Each structure stands twice: as structure tokens, then as C-alpha cells.
A and B are shown apart, each in its own frame.
Chain A
């Protein structure tokens, strides 16, 4: 935002020569436009760019300002959950709460929006510590082990909740929900996201993000008559967004064969340690009906025929991807997609927003390029329908000296009205996870096609399978992550999966077979734990 505004501020040169100062105002890169010979045509071009920038920045600024105003209204009577939190929190005015968030847009959410507003409403300051996905896990555990009390508000992926809860990193919030009238807030959350904050029959915070994967495809490529004709001739069916994994691998390879190196069939983020790499296996494996463990013996099942098939699909997809994509992190994946070099990706929700340049209008999103595929992106379910779902939970630290205040911040920050504004912020990386979000007309009008996007996300949540929410989940995940990159590099699939299954068995034994069995059985009860246990299958999905 700020950089657009700064262009409209007249630039005064030190020598006082102001006759060219307007040129600085219309340029994108400053000094480069201060040429003496300044063609009229170029000026008109630059001026029209400025006008366009203003046209884009104006409404965007208005959007953010409206979001601030909307939250203030919601917090002073408009939303009972937010209002109750604000009123109760005023008694803690003057203290500082420390939150932890993933670096970048997630942190910007607290730093630029939630934090300043909370301080304005309650007098409580918010300090945000940033770190990468792996770092925020490390920092929170290290702080708890050393009892430093570094954080008041924790952030956890669903997979971390059992360990955080069992080790006493976070406190259950059930009593606070009753005390501060926050229970109503939970009913509006999609059942699949409620799974993440529920463990051993207790609530451990507020779900705060809707990370359901969907398939994003290029409508122009899938609608290309020549391509469609060639596809039909080869496969005896119409070219369409794939509905099963065979179709996915065939279609990806077909597009690569036809259009590479200009466009590849797909290109996912598969680098070691990249958040998401092992999610591909978890997703494909379970969409084919796979189960992680045998509940009786707790022996890992990832190396069975279903696991082998899942991995073969993934390797076939990799073959149809751009060179080097085994090392793509998710930013490279998005960059490649936004530049129009891939025809499909299946991944996290901001893809819809960034494809339409909604997010990149803001300075905080400058790490991604502008989209070259605006208006060309279609949304579809993941092949088989059972896509990956993970969630982020805002929790209250057991080591906090201000537990009530920390809880109240979470309640307010994730309340229906406040969270709606946050998922609409261009610079935020929070995505719809409430019924009220999916039904929001405001969100649906953010860009042409936003309502279809909301519907796709809602459907993805209804049919999605969730991450592994059990004790030791990060260990199992990292083990698989490493194995997958070894297989990408050419290691034999069956023997690598066998070795990984052995590693899982060692982890299970170390953590205690009985304890892990109880944890896994608890997980199997959660909505979305298997493809036959999704919100839609249980009849508790939202009507999208």
C-alpha cells in the first residue's frame, strides 16, 4: 500500500529544480525517469500507469480502511463474541502480549491489523515474533522447555496440538470459553477445522485458518481447441480437470508433451523441508483408501500396495513437471504458476487470491510476482475429491503470565466478524474456514469469480482429509519427507517405503505403542481422518 501512495507524493530534488519533479511521481523506479529528453508518448504511458495504480490502490486502501472500521464496529457491539472479549480485556490495559507467527504475511496480520486494533480497543499491546514454519515449532518448544514465558499466544499446526497439549505447552480453553462467552464462535467453524483444536475431548484454542487444498487449472489451456482435439484422439475422453490420479498423471504428461518448455502439466513444491512435501503422499495415500497404522499392532502401513501406488503417482507427476521441480519450495511453485508456466497446481488456498493479483497489490506480498494468468484460472476438487486439509490453531501458552488476556485476544482475533475481515486482507495469509466466511458476499465480490473460489474451498473442506493429528506427528512427517526426496532422486520406491515404515515403527516404539495406539484411535474419530470419515461422508459438511 505505502509504495503506491509514495508515488503520489511530489519528490523535491536537492537543487530545487522542481520542473521535472512530477516525473518522479509517475515513475515506478524513481531516478530512471529523470531524463532530460522525456518523450510525450512515454509521459502519457507513465501517466496512465499512475492512474491505473491509483485506481487499484484507491479501492484497496478503502478495503483495508473499511476492514479496520468493520472490526471496530464488530468489537463494540456488532459481534457478541468479539465484544465480550474486548470488554473483558480492558482490565488488562497496559500489558503486552507476545504472539508468534510465520514470517511474512502471517506476521503482518498481527503487526499491521490485529495488533494495532487490539491495542486501540483494549490498551493491550501486541508484540509478534516471527519465524519460518520449522522455526516457530522450535522456538515454542525451546521456550517451553526453558520456561522462559516468551510467548503468550502460541501458534500450532493441528499436527502439533497433541504434543503441545500432552507436554503442557498450551492450556485447554474450555473453561475460558464458558467464562468469556466464546462458545458460540466455535459453532460457525467448519467441522473439519474444528478437528484440529480438539484433543482428548478438550478444546485447545481457536482454529484460525482454512488450509484446504483444491485443484487450480488454466481454463485457457484446458479450453484450447487444438489441445482438446489431440487429447480426445489420444485418451478417448474430453480434456478436463482430472478427477482421479490416473487422469492427473496422464493429463499432466500430455500437456508437458504438447507445450513444454513453455508450459508444463504441473509443478508442485517438493523440496526437502518444504512445508507440504510429505502432504502429497498423505493426501494421495488416503484418497486411495490408505490408513497410516494398523490400530491393533500400530505397525506402519505406508509401505503397502496403496502406499506404493500413491508414490508411483507422485513420481509420475514429478516427471511431468518443470526441470528441477523436485527442489521447488512453495514460493517457486507459486512463482512458476503465476508466470503461466504450469497448467495445474493443487495446493493451499491463497492460490486463488494470488492468481487474480488480489494479494500482490500489497507491499507485504512483494515476494511473489504479479500474476500473468488473471481471469484464466478455474477451481476444481483434488482428484478423487479427498484433498489435503491442515489447520492453524491459535492457542494460549501455559507459560504466559497473562493467560486470560492471551485467551481474550485469541477469542477476539478469531471471532466471526474479525476473522472475516482478516481472511479478506490482501496481505494476510488467512483463508476462509467458517460458514460465515463461505457465505460472505463481501468476500465473494473481491474479484470476479471469488464466489466460485469460496464454493471450491468449502467443498474442499467438506471432502478433505486432515493432517495426522497425533502424538509424534512431526517425527512421522519428517521421516516421510526425507524418504520422498530420496525417491525423487531415484531411490527404489518399495525399499525406501519399507525403510520409512521401519523408521515409523521405531518412533512408535520410542513414544510407547499403547500411548500411540490411543492417540491414533483418537485421531481416527476426528472428522476427515480418512476418506470415509470426511465431513461430507458424516453428513456434517456445510452447504456450499
Chain B
């Protein structure tokens, strides 16, 4: 009797565990992934929501007293934050516009077969596979006085000797950032738009031609309307990505001269990881995220409209 009891006591928990595993097997299989998501995404999100409303600043205090909306108002009070929002908007719109126009022209040029087309396409697409940090570093070396060859090359084509400081003088810092970003991301536009152009049936162009349409009319009344959804996809993806512009700024201008090329991402990095004003930086990140969500929502709605129609 005693042996049976002892046996029963030993076996019962094992059986219970086995039964539990059988009943919840599917949940146990996904549990590690769920745990990872909770640990790496949900916890930081909840933690950052708390940080928004407490003093979390290395140089102010080791404790974290409740400060209400002070972290948010600190951002609004900072002229660098307001400036960074403008710079982000201007740079994002500029780079997307430049990349779109050049990408479309390249796609149109590459639509038809010609000798060397494939090699040329590979060359055009290469910058897409380079790290943005390397791109920024490359452009820094290219443009920097006196070691970069940019002034020398410009002097070949322009009268006199060009001695421009491309990351300091006038509007050049912005133009330098736009050039570097366009160099890297135009291929993205090019690839998507080329795919879109290739999917337009040649019969439509033939029909337009029979109807007497000139090439310009074919472009505006056949190509553009059919390419519009693809264009919107490309522009949406690039715009959302361009608003996060950071790497090229970090390596090319470091936000300078002064704070002239501070994008919001760079400003938040500076506040959070260089100065450890973590509360202010987190609040800024949340505001930026919410603003971007509205823009993304609007763009995606526009994107889905043609599909619904």
C-alpha cells in the first residue's frame, strides 16, 4: 500500500505535465516567439511610454520623478527640435522628388533593349546594396576639402577654380545630403518603376499609335495613368524611409554646420544617446511616430483606393 502511494505520488505530476503539454502543445510551440516579441518589442514600448512622463535624464537625477508632459514641452521649447522638423520635411520631400524624377527617366531609358543594358542596370543598382553609413563616408571623402576630388572635378567644367566647401557653404550642406541620398536610393525608384513600366501591355501603346497618339500623348494618357499605383507605392515607401534620414547625416555632416542639417532622427539621437536626455528624446520619438503614422495612414489610403476601384 505504501509502495503504491509512493509510486502514485511520483507519477502523478509527470502525468499531469504530460497532459498539460498535450493540451497546450500548439501554444508551447509559439511561446518562445511570443516571449521574444514581448521582450524585444512590447516591453520597450511600454517602458518608453512610462519614460515619457518621468525625469529620465542622466545629468539631472538618478531617480525618476513624475514630470507630466514636461518632456513633450521641452521638445517644443527647443528651437533645434522645431528646426529639425522643417529640415526633415524639406529633405524628405526633396530626396523623394529627385529620386522619383531620375528613377523614372532611367526606367524609361532602360525599358527597351540595347547593347550593354544589363551591365548598365547592374551598375545603376549597386548603390542600393551599400550601407548608408558607407555612402555617407564615401560622399564625405568625395566632397571634403582639401582631400576630396569634387572641387577639382567641378573646376574641369566650370570657369575658374572651384573652392566650395560642400558641407558648410550656403545651401550646399542640404544639396550634399540630397545628392548622397539620391545616389543611394534612386535605384530603388528605378527598379520599382521599371517593373511597373514592363508590366504595361505593348498592345495599349499600339492601340494609341493607331488612334494617332504621339509619343508624348502616349506617355501622359497611357503610361502615367497605368503607372500611377506603382508610383504611389514607390513614393510611399521612399517617403516613409526618407523621414528617418540619419546615417548619411551622421557620417556626412554630423548635423552641421551648427544644427543646420539636423533631421528629427538625428536630433533625437543627439538628445538621447549623446546627451542622455532620455525622457525628452523618448517623448520626441513618440510625437514623431504619431505624426508619421498619420502621414503613412493617409498615403496608404491613397494607395489602396485604386485597388478598391
Instruction: Give Cα A487 to B255, complex, Å.
Output: 14
In the complex, the answer to whether B59 meets A472 with C-beta atoms within 8 Å is yes
Is A145 a contact of B58 with CB atoms below 8 Å?
yes
B144 with A324: CB separation less than 8 A: yes
Using CB atoms, name the residue of chain B closest to A145: B58
Interface string of B158-184 (1 = CB under 8 A from A): 000001010111100000000000000
Stretch at the interface among B97-105, B186-194, B257-265: B257-265
Residue of A nearest to B62 (CB): A167
Interfacial residues of chain A within 127-172, with CB under 8 A of chain B in the complex: 134, 138, 141-142, 145, 163, 167-168
Given contacts A475-B59, A488-B168, contact A273 B254 (CB under 8 A): yes
Task: Give the contacts of B118-140 with A (CB-CB under 8 A).
Answer: none
**Given A272-B255, A482-B256, A489-B168, A323:B145 Cβ within 8 A:** yes
- What residues on A are CB-neighbors of B169 within 8 Å? 489-490
A318 to B275, CA, bound (A): 28
Q: Are B273 and A510 in contact (CB under 8 A)?
A: no
**B residues 247-272 touching A (CB-CB < 8 Å):** 253-260
Q: Interface residue count for A (Cβ, 8 Å)?
A: 37
| Cβ contacts under 8 Å, A491 to chain B | 257-258
Docked CA distance A78–B121 (Å): 71
A485 & B59 in contact (Cβ 8 Å cutoff): no
Nearest Cβ on chain B to A526's Cβ, whole angstroms? 19
- State whether the Cβ of B276 lies closer than 8 Å to any Cβ in chain A: yes
Say if the beta carbon of A299 comes within 8 Å of chain B: no
Q: Say whether B60 faces chain A, with CB atoms less than 8 Å apart.
A: yes
> How far in angstroms is the closest Cβ of chain B from A170?
13
Q: A326-B165, A475-B59 are in contact. Are A482 and B146 (CB under 8 A)?
A: no
Question: Which residues on A sit within 8 Å (CB–CB) of B22?
Answer: none
Judge whether B274 is part of the interface by a CB distance below 8 angstroms: yes
Contact pick for B168, options A163, A327, A474, A475, CB 8 Å = A327
- Determine if B256 and A163 form an interchain contact, defined as CB atoms under 8 angstroms apart: no
A324 to B146, Cβ gap below 8 A?
Answer: yes
Contact code string A450-473 (vs B, CB < 8 Å = 1, else 0): 000000000000000000000110
CA of A53 to CA of B95, assembled, Å: 53
Does A483 sit at the interface, judged by CB under 8 A? Answer: yes
Which residues of chain A come closer than 8 Å to B170, judged between CB atoms?
Answer: 490
Produce 1/0 per residue, A92-118, CB < 8 A to B: 000000000000000000000000000
Residue from the list A141, A272, A327 in contact with B165, Cβ < 8 A: A327
Q: How far is the CA of A369 from the CA of B240 in the complex (A)?
A: 44
**A residues within 8 A CB of B77?**
506
Verify B256–A324 contact, CB threshold 8 A: no
Q: Fill in one digit per residue for A468-510: 1 if any B CB lies within 8 Å of its CB, else 0.
A: 0001101100100011011111110000100100000010001
Residues of B within 8 A of A506 (CB): 77-78
In the complex, are the beta carbons of B257 and A272 less than 8 A apart?
Answer: yes
- Pick the contact of B256: A472, A486, A496 (CB < 8 A): A486
Interface presence of A18 (CB below 8 A): no
Contacts of B258 in A (CB 8 A): 482-483, 485-487, 489, 491, 496
CB-CB under 8 A for A511 and B60, given A327-B168, A486-B259, A486-B260: yes
Of B79, B256, B278, the contact of A272 (CB 8 Å cutoff)? B256
> How distant is the Cα of A332 from the Cα of B274 in the complex, in angstroms?
24
**Contact status of A474 and B275, CB under 8 A, knowing A326-B165, A327-B167:** yes
In the assembly, what is the distance between CA of A273 and CA of B256, in Å?
A: 9
- Contact yes or no, B256 A168, CB < 8 A: no
A483 to B256, CA, bound (A): 9
Scoring B169, B253, B254, B278 by chain A CB atoms within 10 A of each residue's CB, the highest score goes to: B254
Chain B residues, CB < 8 A from A471: 59
Of the listed residues B146, B165, B257, the one surrounded by the most CB atoms of chain A closer than 10 A to its CB is: B257
Task: Please measure, in the bound complex, the distance between the C-alpha atom of A529 and the C-alpha atom of B180, giving whole angstroms.
Answer: 44
Contact B274 A478 (CB under 8 A): yes
Q: Nearest Cβ distance between residue B212 and chain A, in whole angstroms?
A: 57
| Residue A322 CB within 8 A of the other chain | yes
Binary flags per residue of A62-95, CB closer than 8 Å to B gives 1, else 0: 0000000000000000000000000000000000
B144 contacts which chain A residues (CB < 8 A)?
324, 327
Give the distance to chain A from B237, nearest Cβ to Cβ, in Å: 31
| In contact, B274 and A322 (Cβ under 8 angstroms) | no
Q: B59's contact among A142, A163, A168, A499, by CB below 8 Å, is which?
A: A163
| B residues in contact (CB < 8 Å) with A | 57-60, 62, 74, 77-79, 144-147, 163, 165, 167-170, 253-260, 273-276, 278
Which 10 interchain pairs have the tightest Cβ spacing? A324-B145, A486-B258, A489-B257, A272-B256, A485-B257, A489-B168, A485-B256, A272-B254, A324-B146, A482-B258
- Sample 21 A-B pairs with CB under 8 A, ordered by A number: A138-B274, A141-B276, A142-B273, A145-B276, A145-B278, A163-B59, A272-B255, A273-B254, A323-B145, A327-B167, A474-B59, A474-B275, A475-B275, A482-B258, A482-B259, A485-B256, A485-B257, A486-B259, A489-B165, A490-B170, A491-B258
A: residues with CB less than 8 A from B are: 134, 138, 141-142, 145, 163, 167-168, 271-273, 322-324, 326-327, 332, 471-472, 474-475, 478, 482-483, 485-491, 496, 499, 506, 510-512
Seed contacts A142-B273, A323-B145, A326-B168; 20 additional CB < 8 Å A-B pairs: A138-B274, A138-B276, A141-B276, A145-B278, A163-B59, A272-B257, A323-B146, A323-B165, A324-B146, A324-B165, A327-B144, A327-B165, A472-B59, A474-B275, A475-B59, A485-B258, A490-B169, A496-B258, A510-B57, A510-B74
